Amino acid sequence: MMEMALQQAEAAAKRGEVPVGAVLVHGPSGRVLASAGNRVEELKDATAHAEMLVLRAGAGTAEYRLSDCDLYVSLEPCPMCAAAISLARIRRLYFGAYDPKSGGVEHGARIFEQPTCHHRPEVVGGIEEARAASLLRDFFAARR
């Protein structure tokens, strides 16, 4: 599943978007409910992160409760996305590269560690970290 998230990230880079991809999976069945890359530039919407797009798409599938779903993201979610993951009651969060600059899970606001956080997913970070990180590095290097 992280492979699919990384492919979405690569596709996002080709569209000129910051290369982050996300996949929403129904845990028990392993069915992919939604996958997306960043669409911030395309939609001119600073909130159109890959995670928000798949959470919203998943919310529309009445058959599945998001509390049975897992989210795979190529990069540590920012505080907006981390808080959205909590609100949606996602079961497990798997992410790739750590993001000391803008992450909100292991850095900064550490959303899931707040006493006011009402749902904490299980979190596994650093999956295929090197590949996820080099995608981002290459993207920003090419822009300079």
DSSP 66: G
Pick 6 or 12: Cβ nearer its own copies? 12
Question: Is 113 among the residues known to form the active site?
Answer: no
Pick 75 or 78: Cβ nearer its own copies? 78
User: Residue 30: which region, alpha, beta or left (left: phi > 0; alpha: psi -120 to 50)?
Assistant: left
The kind and range of the H/E element at 23 are strand 21-26
Cα separations in angstroms, 142 against 13, 26, 139? 11, 36, 5
C-beta of residue 128 within 8 angstroms of C-beta of residue 38:
no
The footprint of its own copies on residues 69-88 (CB under 8 A) is 78-84, 87-88
The footprint of its own copies on residues 92-131 (CB under 8 A) is 100-104, 107-111, 114-118
Pick 23 or 85: Cβ nearer its own copies? 85
CA atoms of 42 and 80, how far apart (whole Å): 19
Count of residues binding its own copies (CB under 8 A)?
38
User: Which residue is catalytic, options 10, 41, 42, 51?
Assistant: 51
The footprint of its own copies on residues 19-58 (CB under 8 A) is 43-48, 52, 55-56
Partner residues linked to 36 by β-bridges = 22
- Point out the residues that are catalytic: 51
Contact positions toward its own copies, by CB under 8 A?
43-48, 52, 55-56, 59-60, 62, 66, 78-84, 87-89, 100-104, 107-111, 114-118
